[in-house]
A and B are shown apart, each in its own frame.
Chain A
Amino acid sequence: DADVTQTPRNRITKTGKRIMLECSQTKGHDRMYWYRQDPGLGLRLIYYSFDVKDINKGEISDGYSVSRQAQAKFSLSLESAIPNQTALYFCATSDWIQGNGAFFGQGTRLTVV
């Protein structure tokens, strides 16, 4: 099983619909992140969380919300999807105190039509 699992892997949704992207991890890490990737723009941070009681906005949180249901689960919601939210979304976990970097899920390709 993958260390960081994202569901769904691909999704096409209509403008105005609410959609949830889910992420679960088996690494036991406290820190979890949501990023979006657009061509040529690298990864931009949407939200990050240090534990179930700690949620922080990233660079581009408008139009998104998150829920940290447990240490291992971090969900991203688009309340009312719009076409410019079409992107590749990544969940990641980290624990760099041990000198390791972040572990990424395989990504969710979201298309808003």
Chain B
Amino acid sequence: KQEVTQIPAALSVPEGENLVLNCSFTDSAIYNLQWFRQDPGKGLTSLLLIQSSQREQTSGRLNASLDKSSGRSTLYIAASQPGDSATYLCAFPDNYGQNFVFGPGTRLSVLP
């Protein structure tokens, strides 16, 4: 069974900094990996989906990379803003694409 970790668990940075969030998993046989954002008490918003054949995806100030061989994905946020404050979760399908496994999340605070 997959084990997923996200480092750091929490992060506080001043506005304008570039930052990297990490997601690690134990079994490299994944179909894809998805990054989500969750605001407190709210639902999940999909940010980026990286297919297993891709190495990275970009959307605006966000860039996500996937290295299956090392069991890692990173989410890069450029020029962070207070509105980026949220919990960021990585997730991917396990069990031949049927189950969906989530990391524990990184809680990000961007200070004005």
Do A and B make up one complex?
A: no
Give me the interface of A with B, judged by CB distance under 8 Å: none
Give me the interface of B with A, judged by CB distance under 8 Å: none
